[in-house]
Amino acid sequence: MIQDYLDIEFHDATAVIWIDEQGSSVNRLNRRALSAFEEVLSELDSNDDISAAVFISRKPASFIVGADLNMLQALETKKEVRSLVRDGHRLTARLQTLRIPTVAAMHGPAMGGGLEMALACTYRLCTQHPATKFALPEVKLGLLPAIGGTQRLPRLIGLQEALGMMLTGKNVYPHKAKRIGLVNATTFHPGLLDAALSAAKGLVSGTLSSSRPPSGFGEKLLESTTLSRRLIYQKAESTVQRESKGNYPAPLKILDCVQTGLEEGIDSGLQMEESHFSDLVFTRESKALVRLFFSQQASSTNPFGEHARPINSVGLLGAGLMGGGIAQVSAEGGVNVRVKDLDLEHAAIAKKVTWENLSKRVEKRILSSFDRDVLMERIQPVAAYDALASADLVIEAVPEQLTLKHTVLLETEGAIDPGCIFASNTSSIPISQIAEQSLRPENVVGMHYFSPVPQMPLLEIVRTPHTSLDTLGTAYALGLMQGKTPIVVNDGPGFYTTRILALYMNEALLLLEEGARIDEVDRAMVQWGFPMGPFALFDLVGIDVGAKITEVMREQLPEFTHRTLKISNAASRLKDAGYSGQKSNLGFFSYPKTKGRGSKKEVNQTIYAFFGGPERASLSAAQIQERLGLIMVNEALYCLEEGILSNPTDGDIGAVFGLGFPPFRGGPFQYVDTETTPAIASRLARLRYQHGARFQAPALLTEMAVSDTRFYS
């Protein structure tokens, strides 16, 4: 029993407990783990020859990566969850109050329950390796740290740091971990066990203490009394409310656990953990987030992996913000990038953009300046196509004009090897149209990245009927090297993401034409869970870009979908009038010149002249959300029906990770599942009756509604 998870080894009087979950590449916390730990603790408690214990992972690059989500998903009742949490609480309490000192020796990620176990040890030691990181990421799955994390973490590192970690799920790296007292010491990787053994000896003999560094002035001032702590709780609560718009239940529950524990004692805090956790597990929000997590994990396996060719060097055409971002993630993936633009000045912007991004990490000491140099040298600006001769794959990110795309395609094909792949980062032009002029259409593929590239996880790979499996496999492999979450979709106007976004944006313009207010529409959609409203998004990507996309969609979409779509021409009228959004500070909003407190964007009232004048009618948030939300969802359904998408999972990943579709809703398909197909069908029917044929539901939905079936089992 114990050997398939833990393995005890004796070094004099110190017991070294190797954590090594059999049959898994990483250690996770599950039932098996809990009982193995119970067994080990009994041994440690009863064997008087043992004077200290070290917990260390046998896995090469991680400690314990968190709770086993499969186990969690299999639980069906709150009662079962509560019993699991209680077991975890009993285990960590036992660990903390063991008669002997314990040392957690950590290398690689120690996440979630793994970190919580370490928190219950006497002493924490970690390697300085860049792969070593700590986080309590439960909040990202709509959950909370439930084996005492909400209680032990604030007591260890202070309230403010602890809330920061638990409410955002962010990573803490060794340098900072040491500074805030999350770990007692750091060491180098090969010496981890030796260091842990001497720490254990030191703790036994009393020459080493596990006390944390003295708290800073700010912490003392704010965290020492109930009254002052109340300020922190209030501040945290208002931040949570502002950020989550009430859409995410977990952060407030975390806050509640922490506050209860600190003000009423650890037992009350733990009870709160148990009760809140067992509620959260069954929320639709958590279920959606967990499924997304699994989907994202699944996409890290290349479905065309056997066809992938090696990639040493990537060529990039166009060095703007987009090209710069692609260059950066490529360099980070270990790929050499040659960036070509009109001239060297333009090409060098890719280096500039990357350097600015990496320098922020250097300042935070997450990246060394030497490693920044290494990444920077992987990006070489070039001025001529010849320099791309050795590329394995060339990505074009030039402006969105078909003739220009054809020009660069032909010029590139003149320089590259016959085996080199040509990928277009177009967001709206069908790849087949670009490939028409290609000598080797089997090598042409769409690689649609999202801005800002280093932050947006999605890569939408677009295949045409000619795209070869080699090409797909290689593009997918590159996406994974770049740290992206790829989905593969079929070619069509706007592919998947641009198509559903375009109709969503179009609907927003139609609302405006009907008299809605810009700020009300944006506020409603942010409230619904999008990171920004449609008009702020228009301003950010550029109204001219929006107009371009609308144009492409207007030409192609109706014949494609056999529906009458009402397409607003407002974007192109605005573009012609010189409105291009934030870059010209002439858009739906006007933007303050200086950043900082009190400066915020305001609605540009003059723009209403394009939408029937300043007289505005008030629409309820629910009306706005219904129309904008469902037009996007409906179009996603069409994409599945027409075979643009090969499955609902890709549709959910694409909408959430590329467009910011509310993650707690899990993507359009999970959303339909949660609301149920009959409900969505009848709501669409109502919208169709009110607003026209563009809300016509696809036959797919109608059929599913009849039998009340779901996309996910």
Partner 1 sequence: MRSGTAFAQCTSYDLARMALRGLLTRTDLNPEVVDRIIMGSVVQNVKTPNVARDAALAAGIPKSVPAFTISMACISSNQAIASSTELIQGGHAKVVIAGGTECLSDVPILFQKKVREKLFKARKYKTPKEYLSVVKGLSPSDLLPDTPAIAEFSTGESMGESADRLAALYDVPREAQDAFAMYSHKAAARAQIEGFLSQITPAHLPPSFVPLYQDNGIRKDTSLDKLRTLKPAFHKPFGSVTAGNASFLTDGASAALLMSSSQANALGYVPKVTIRNYTFVAQDPGDELLLGPAYAIPRVLQASGLSLQDIDVFELHEAFAGQVLAVLEALRRNGDGSIPMDKLNAWGGSLSIGHPFGATGTRLLMHAADRLHHEDGKWGLIAACAAGGLGHAMLIERS
342 touching partner 1, by CB under 8 A:
no
CB of residue 72 to partner 1, shortest distance in Å: 42
Strands (DSSP E) along 61-179, which ranges? Answer: 102-106, 109-111, 123-127, 133-135
Nearer to partner 1, 40 or 415 (CB): 415
338 lies in the binding site for partner 1 (CB under 8 A): yes
CA distance 278 to 95: 23
DSSP letter, residue 310: P
Under rule CB under 8 A, residue 378 binds partner 1: yes
Per-residue contact string for residues 384-403; x = within reach of partner 1 by CB under 8 A? ---x-xx-------------
CA angle 534, 537, 538 (to 5 degrees): 90
Of 339 and 435, CB closest to partner 1: 339
The piece of 223-231, 340-348, 567-575, 672-680 that touches partner 1 (CB under 8 A) is 340-348
Instruction: Pick between residue 187 and residue 380 the one whose CB is nearest to partner 1.
Output: 380
Give 588-599 as a 3 state SS string: CEECCCCCCCCC
Does position 374 interact with partner 1 (CB under 8 A)? The reply is yes
* Torsion angles phi and psi, residue 124, rounded to 5: -120, 135
349 contributes a contact to partner 1 by CB under 8 A = yes
Neighbours of 34 (CB within 10 A): 19
Only one of the segments 146-154, 294-302, 343-351, 680-688 lies at the binding site for partner 1 (rule: CB under 8 A); that segment is 343-351
Using CB under 8 A, which of the segments 112-120, 144-152, 220-228, 374-382 binds partner 1? 374-382
Size of interface with partner 1, in residues (CB under 8 A):
22
Q: Is 397 or 586 the residue whose CB approaches partner 1 more closely? A: 397
- Name the helix (H) or strand (E) containing 547: helix 543-561
CA distance 215 to 279: 35
CA 430 to the chain's CA centroid: 27
Which ranges of 97-126 would DSSP assign to H, the alpha helix?
113-119
Select from 9, 356, 363, 555 the one that contacts partner 1 (CB under 8 A). Answer: 356
Residue holding tokens 């001025």? 383
Which one of 348, 461, 536, 545 is in contact with partner 1 (CB under 8 A)? 348
Residues 235 and 703: their CA atoms lie apart, in Å, by: 49
For residue 550, the minimal CB distance to partner 1 (Å) is: 35
Nearer to partner 1 by C-beta: 359 or 647?
359
Smallest separation (angstroms) from partner 1 to the CB of 487: 31
351 binds partner 1 (CB under 8 A): yes
Decide whether 243 or 343 has the Cβ nearer to partner 1.
343
Instruction: Extract the tokens encoding 386.
Output: 């010849």
Instruction: Out of 382, 456, 532, 603, name the contact with partner 1 by CB under 8 A.
Output: 382
Interface of this chain with partner 1, residues 235 to 274, rule: CB under 8 A: none
**Mode of pairing for the β-strands spanning 458-463 and 444-449:** antiparallel
Q: How big is the CA angle at 429 (ends 425 and 433), to the nearest 5 degrees?
A: 110
Question: How near is the Cβ of 368 to partner 1 at its closest, in Å?
Answer: 11
Minimum distance, C-beta of residue 388 to partner 1, in the bound complex (Å): 10
- What are the CB-based long-range contacts (under 8 Å, 24+) for 92-95? 92/116, 92/117, 92/119, 92/120, 92/147, 92/148, 92/152, 93/120, 93/148, 94/38, 94/41, 95/37, 95/41, 95/120, 95/121
Smaller CB separation from partner 1, 162 or 349: 349
Minimum CB separation from partner 1 for residue 351, in Å?
A: 5
Active-site amino acid positions: 460
**Contacts to partner 1 by CB under 8 A:** 336, 338, 344-345, 348-349, 351-352, 355-356, 359, 370, 373-374, 377-378, 380-382, 387, 389-390
